[in-house]
Every structure is written in structure tokens, then in C-alpha cells.
A and B are shown apart, each in its own frame.
Chain A
Amino acid sequence: MFSWFTQATKTFRHGIHPDDYKELSRDRAIERMPFVDEYVLPLSQHLGAPSRPVVKVGDKVYRGQLLAEPVGYISTSLHSSVAGRVKAIELRHHPSGKMVESMVIERDPYSPQTLINQYSLEWENLSPEELLYIVQHGGFVGLGGAAFPTHVKLTVPEGKHAEFFIVNGVECEPYLTSDHRLMLENEQPIFLGIRIAQRILGVDRVYLGIESNKPDAIAHLRKTLPPDLNCEIVPLQTKYPQGAEKMLTEAVLNREIPSGKLPIDIQVIVNNIGTLASIGQLFQLNQPLIERIVTVTGPGINRPSNLLVPIGTKLSDVLEYCGGLKENTLQILFGGPMMGAPQLHLDVPIMKGTSGILCLTDVEVQEREEYPCIRCLRCVDACPVYLNPSRLGALAKVRQYEEMMDYHILDCMECGSCSYVCPSNIPLVQRFRVAKALLREKQAKARKKAG
């Protein structure tokens, strides 16, 4: 609505405008978190099959050494983020709430913690297939939160071709600032990552979408952009959920990705800026994905920070490093407040897909009285994929899950905009999640029966 006043006019339709609370950690420079004594590396940190261990309990490992290899195509490698000894391979608490087979690495206190072999790769001489192989075996997944293996995302399926490459620097989740800091402080790996992706995809035109609540990042990247890199920096209106692939594509190119289709179906590939920066680092230093930037923030933490954390650092260690929790902390999330996953155990590790740690207190977390739906239309206006959450919510409440299919429930991407705006405090997206999970289960069963 206020697009006439701001410089950035591009965005998608619908969506919401929550307060972004980024001021808590926006101005904190990225700090390297010191090494701790024990690291927990779940074998499943990505979507797809868990990795298969290649080391045994008791083995000595170096920082950056391969610990587990990919099993099949949609899978990725796992590397040690610290030099030390494999203490155990056992079930440990996983941020998803389950117990998951994990490698426990005990740090070698006398190691200087340098990379196993550090050199830069001459990527100009490698073919796209070789580059993809390196990306998969570098253990790369989407760092935005979904943790989908990056080499799969960067593969153009047979019979299709990519024309546009969109880099996701939106960071639309409130509170999170890790991509913002990355863009301000470490732009060179981003540009290198873009070049490598360009080569893999055979794409010339690159767009980098950044929301206008990060004007300094937009200015900085425009200033440092190498003249020979064909990349347009696109300022976008600040709106949630602009970081979703579909929304970002619409905002940048004004094209809609059809229901049930992928961006490549309209010749687009989207990738997260943090992932590209890590890929850049892989080719600069031969450093696999063993650390990432995590925003530790929220009213519940004493020292909000942006930390460079070795993958596998336990939540409790990070919280302690950030000055501990305040008395009235009630909830800790991995990710942002809109789609983040609440944590129950403090010994869960930071994973490849953990973009932030958000600590909320009893001020923000409140039980709200649920009123009947008054069909005020706010959710209909907020839903970025044009669903009717009001109708879906009524069906979900009485568990008419089959009928929800007629209202395209499977197009819901669980962004939570409907629950955010609902004046009757109806837990819409929460109910949709249950409905979707049950419907998926049913579909899988039916498929199995069919053969």
C-alpha cells in the first residue's frame, strides 16, 4: 500500500507486514563462536536419505574431514566441523523432536583447528557435472531453513532449461539478520558462488532480491558488485513471506509458478544467498559446509548476536556464549517466529539448516482466546497463494480433510500469514499442518496399495 512512497516497488500480491524486530541484532557484526568440547552431528540434516558413516567410533578426525557420505541422489555428505575423536555414533535429540542417529565428536583440545587441506579450487577449468559433484560432496544444503540438498536444486532436469537465476537475499522472517550481516561483511564469496552457479546452470541473467529494510546491504552490494558479473540487484518491498520461492519469483519477474510445479518449469532457479556464499567459500578455501552464520536473538537472550557457529554446536553452548537466557524465557525456536520450530531440549545441535535461534519470553508468548470465525476476509487477503483459509479452517475444525483437497489445501506452504492476521485467534495454519500431514499419509498409503 505504501509502495508509492518508497523506492522499492516490486513485490508479490497479498502477504502481511509484521514488525521485523531486526534492530535487536542488525548492528552486531558476525563473531566466530569459540570451539567447545563436544559436537553432535546428526546423520540427517537435510531432506532425503540420511548419510552413511565412513568413520568408526574412536577414529581421529580432522576439521573438514568426511564423516559420512551421501546415500543416493537426494542426499549429501557430512564433514567434521572440528578436529578431534569420534566419541560415539548413537541416538541423540534432533531439532525435529525425534531421536536421530548422530556422530558425537569430542574436540582435541590441542589441535589448532585448521582445515585439513586448505587450497582454492580452479573452478574455471571444471565442467558443470564436476562442479555439481563437488557441491554434493561438500555437504551443501539450502541454508534458508528447508535444508534441501543444493546439488539437486542446481540441476536442470532433462528437457528443461534455465533462463533466470534468482538469488534469495530477502530474509523475510522477522528477527533474523544473518543474511543481512553476510551481505554487509563478506560479499566476495557471494559473488564467487553466483559465478559458480551461473556456470553450473548455464545461465547468464542473475537477479539478487533484497528487501528494502536492508538499505545498507543493497548499497554495499551495488558498490562492490564486480563489473563483469551480470547480476542485477533488485530492491523489494518489505513483506512477508517474500522469501518463499514462489513469492520471490513473482516479485522479481512478475511470473507465477503454477500450482504443484517447480521454478524450473518457468525457466527459473532460486537459491539462498547464504548457500551461495558457502559454496563460494568451498571453492576459495576447499572448506566444506562445516559452519554457518546463526542469528541468536529475541527478547529472551541477554546478548543478541550474529555468530559463525560450527555445525553440531549444542544449543546450550550457544546460549551460554550469548550471555544466557532471561528469567522469563518461555520458548526457543530454530528459525524465525513465523515458521520456526520450537525446541524442547537444550542439547539439540545447530544444524546446516538452522538460520536462527529465537528466544521468546512470556511477553510475546501468550495464550489467546479463540473466537468464532467472523469471515472478515483478512486471511483471504493475506494468503500469498490465494487460498481461502477461512473456509479451510472451518473444514479443518470438523476434520473434513478430504473436502479440504477441493479447496487446494496442498498448495498451502504453511507460511502462517493467515494465523497472524486472524482477529478471532483461530490457529489456522496449525490445523492445516495436521490436515496436510494426514492427507499426505493417506496418499502415500493409497500409492503403496496401487503398487
Chain B
Amino acid sequence: MKAAEVKLLLTSSPFLKQEDDMPTIMRQVIYSLVPVSLAAIYYFGLGALLLILVCVGGALGTEWVFSRGKRGRRLSIADGSAILTGLLLALVLPPAIPLWMALLGAVAAIGIGKMVFGGVGSNIFNPALVGRAFLQAAFPVALTTWVPQGGWQSLARLYPTQFGMPFAKTTVSAVTTATPLSQMKFAGQTTDTLQLLLGNTGGSLGETCALIILLGGIYLAWRNYLNWRVPVAVFASVAVFAGILHWVDPLKYAPPMFHLFSGGLMLGAIYMATDPVTSPVTQRGCWIFGIGIGVLVMVIRTYGGLPEGVMYAILLMNAVSPLINRVTQARIYGESRKKDKG
């Protein structure tokens, strides 16, 4: 081609770009949750799949209603964040929760948790946890009713309670079970760590099999899609806190391994606390943030009225993260930290 015929574009450098964009990151996180979801379906049957579909659908629908304009709608659906929120919400709900409640939770998660703040990137609290906190406040009984685990034989099962209607008294009496944490809290029984790792225990949809969650987290950290400092800080502070308690009184307090692998800690630390939007923007801040979550989890689990405290711990630390940002502001290049403070 003759040089004189070239039509040149005038834009500003840089002209190189890392290929990972935001939808890619969201997609990767969703992919890493697929094994977790499959484990949930294995343990809780077709009902689990139904719950996931309802939550994801509800989240997408709410996102669509709240976003404005053709371009805005296309982008906010395409970035995948609503799917992720819906999926995460489903994974922290009890398997047999009535589906209409789950739908309401998804609407609250996206609507109150995210869109009223201005959409992706502007929310203060983790949207999925806002949805769950909303449900916990509105329907405390449904949120603490757990069903026992199944396996291959019961893969096709659905739960009668799932199809309950709003304001209708449900007369079905389901078989219920306890979670390892409530057993610990109210009966003083600990569960075997291997059972916790494999997820052969009662609990929310996605928080039973700690091993798969941990593997997903390692994958994401390896690909640099999540900040490993946050979960590491959470685990370390939980382990230290629980270790001290267990050392003081081994009969009254559970060992650190139990606390690490039970309840929502794995899912919360790896998938909820690492939400970039609601965690601090400095590396030092992320350490503080993670340690704060771990300490709060242990305080609630040990001294609070509830058996589990991951959700509130993360939401509370979310609220503090702007403050953490302010106090952990990085020093400017070429200045020593001391001088900065003086």
C-alpha cells in the first residue's frame, strides 16, 4: 500500500493492553464456582439446581430493570457481575428455602445491595451478603432450617418446602438436621475435619465442601483474579484466635481446624471478602481487612447468640473499608513513611 493513502487514527498512548478485562475476571470467578455448585447439586439434589437458577435469574432480571439505556443495559448484563451475585447468594442459602424467598433475596441483593448505590463498583456492601442479610432478618426460621445431605441415590430430589407460597402456612414437616457450627454451639459437639473438608455435613448450599472451595480459591489466586492476602489474613486470624481459645480450654472451645473448615468461612473468605469493590484498595489495608473479618467471625461464633458470623463479619468490615483506605494510604515515591506522618 502506498504510504500516501493511509488513513491514520489519532488516539493517545498506551497502545498495549493486558487482555484480562472485567467481564473476563467475573467469568473466571463464575467458572471456579462451577465445581462448588456441582458439589451442592450432588449433596442436595435437583432442588439445589433449582435454587441456583432462581437466584441467578432473579439477579439478572433485577439488574435489567434497574439499569437504564440500551448501552447501559447491555454492559451491565454483559459484565457478568449479576450472574456472580445470584450464584453466590444461592450458595449461601439453606437448600430447602422456599424459592419465592430466594427470589426476593436476589432482588434485594441486586436492588438494595448494588443498584441503589449506582451499580457495579459503587456499592459499599457485598451484594450477595446484603441479599442474605435481608432474608435472615425477614425470614429467620427459613434461614436456619437445614436439611440432611444426600448422594447419588437422591440426586433427583426436590424439597416440598421449596414450593411454599408467600403468606401460606406450610404444613409439610421436613426432615431437618443441624450444622456443625450449631452442634458445636448448642450441643458442644465437634465434627471431624475430614467430614468438613468433603462437605458431608449440613449447611448452606455451597458452604459444605471446604476442599472444593479452597481449590477454586487457589486457582483464582494463581491467575491473579483475587487478592490472596484477604483469605490468608482471615484464615490466619481465625486460626490464631481459635488456637488460643482451644489452648486455654480444649473442652469448651473447638480446635482451629474445626473453625477454619466449618460454616461459611471458606466461601466467605475466598469469594465474599475478596470482592474487590467492597475491600480496601491498598495491600496493607487488605491485611487489616482480612484480620478484622477473622476476629469478628470468632467473636460472633464464640460469644454471640448466633452459631455463625461470617456474613455479619464481612458486612461490618465492608463498612470500615473506606476508613481503612484512608489510614493505609500509600506513601508517595521517594518519601519515607515516618516523614509522611510527621
A residues in contact (CB < 8 Å) with B: 16, 18-19, 174, 246, 256-259, 261, 316, 319-320, 324-327, 329-333, 335, 337-344, 346, 358, 360, 364-365, 368-369, 371-377, 380-381, 384-388, 390-391, 408, 411, 416, 419-421, 423-425, 427, 429-430, 433
Contacts and interface: CB of A to CB of B under 8 A. Distances in A.
B120 A342 contact: no
Given A325-B6, A371-B75, A381-B283, A421 B18 contact: yes
A365 B9 contact: yes
Interface stretch (B158-166, B202-210, B302-310, B331-339): B331-339
Given A246-B333, A259-B332, A375-B277, A342 B13 contact: yes
Given A330-B8, A369-B21, A388-B282, 18 more contacts: A246-B334, A256-B333, A259-B333, A325-B1, A329-B1, A346-B3, A364-B16, A365-B9, A371-B79, A374-B22, A374-B121, A377-B282, A386-B333, A419-B17, A420-B16, A423-B18, A423-B20, A425-B17
Contacts of A386: 330-333
B16 A18 contact: yes
Interface range, B side: 35 or more
Contacts of A391: 281
A428 to B, nearest CB: 10
B329 interface: yes
Counting chain A CB atoms within 10 Å of each CB, which of B1, B6, B16 scores highest? B16
B256 to A, nearest CB: 29
Contacts of B24: 423
A368 to B, nearest CB: 7
Interface string B211-227: 00000000000000001
Contacts of A338: 13-16
Interface in B271-326: 276-277, 279, 281-283, 286
B8 A342 contact: yes
B79 A408 contact: no
Contacts of B172: none
Nearest to A389: B281
Most chain A CB inside 10 Å of its own CB: which residue of B22, B282, B283: B22
Given A385-B332, A420-B14, A371 B281 contact: no
B10 interface: yes
17 contacts: A319-B3, A325-B1, A326-B1, A332-B8, A333-B15, A337-B13, A338-B16, A346-B6, A364-B16, A371-B79, A385-B332, A386-B333, A420-B17, A423-B18, A424-B22, A425-B21, A433-B12
Contact of B1 (A19, A174, A324, A373): A324
A249 to B, nearest CB: 10
A381 B25 CA distance: 17
Interface in B246-275: none
Interface in B1-39: 1-4, 6, 8-18, 20-25
Nearest to A431: B12
B326 to A, nearest CB: 11
B3 A316 contact: yes
Contact of B8 (A344, A385, A424, A427): A344
A374 B276 contact: yes
B281 A390 contact: yes
Contacts of A342: 8-13
A425 B79 CA distance: 12
B232 to A, nearest CB: 15
Given A325-B3, A388-B329, A337 B8 contact: no
B279 to A, nearest CB: 8
Given A365-B9, A391-B281, A423-B21, A408 B15 contact: no
Contacts of B279: 375
B20 A316 contact: no
Contacts of A372: 119-122
A374 B277 contact: yes
Contacts of B23: 371
A269 to B, nearest CB: 17
Contact of A416 (B6, B13, B277): B13
Contact of B281 (A332, A377, A424): A377
Contacts of B10: 342, 344
Given A332-B8, A372-B119, A384-B333, A424 B21 contact: yes
Given A259-B333, A344-B10, A388-B281, A374 B3 contact: no
B270 to A, nearest CB: 16
A331 B15 contact: yes
- In the A-B complex, the 4 residue pairs with the closest CB atoms: A416-B14, A372-B121, A385-B333, A258-B334
B171 to A, nearest CB: 46
Nearest to B321: A375
Nearest to A97: B10
A384 B3 CA distance: 38
Given A316-B4, A324-B3, A330-B9, A360 B15 contact: yes
A335 B14 CA distance: 11
A339 B334 contact: no
Contacts of B12: 342, 427, 430, 433
A375 B281 contact: yes
Nearest to A21: B16
Nearest to A373: B121
Contact of A337 (B16, B79, B227, B277): B16
A372 B22 CA distance: 9
Contacts of B282: 377, 380, 388
Contacts of B120: 371-372, 374
A419 B12 CA distance: 11
Contacts of B22: 371, 374, 423-425
Nearest to B7: A330
Given A364-B15, A374-B121, A377-B276, A261 B332 contact: no
Contact of B276 (A376, A411, A425): A376
> In this complex, which of A326, A368, A384, A386 has the most chain B Cβ atoms within 10 angstroms of its Cβ?
A386
Contact of B13 (A19, A341, A371, A381): A341
Contacts of A384: 333
Contacts of B281: 375, 377, 380, 388, 390-391
Given A372-B121, A423-B22, A258 B14 contact: no
A424 to B, nearest CB: 5
A408 B331 CA distance: 10
Contacts of A256: 333-334
A320 B16 contact: no
A368 B330 contact: no
Contact of A365 (B1, B15, B79, B122): B15
A281 to B, nearest CB: 30
B9 A257 contact: no
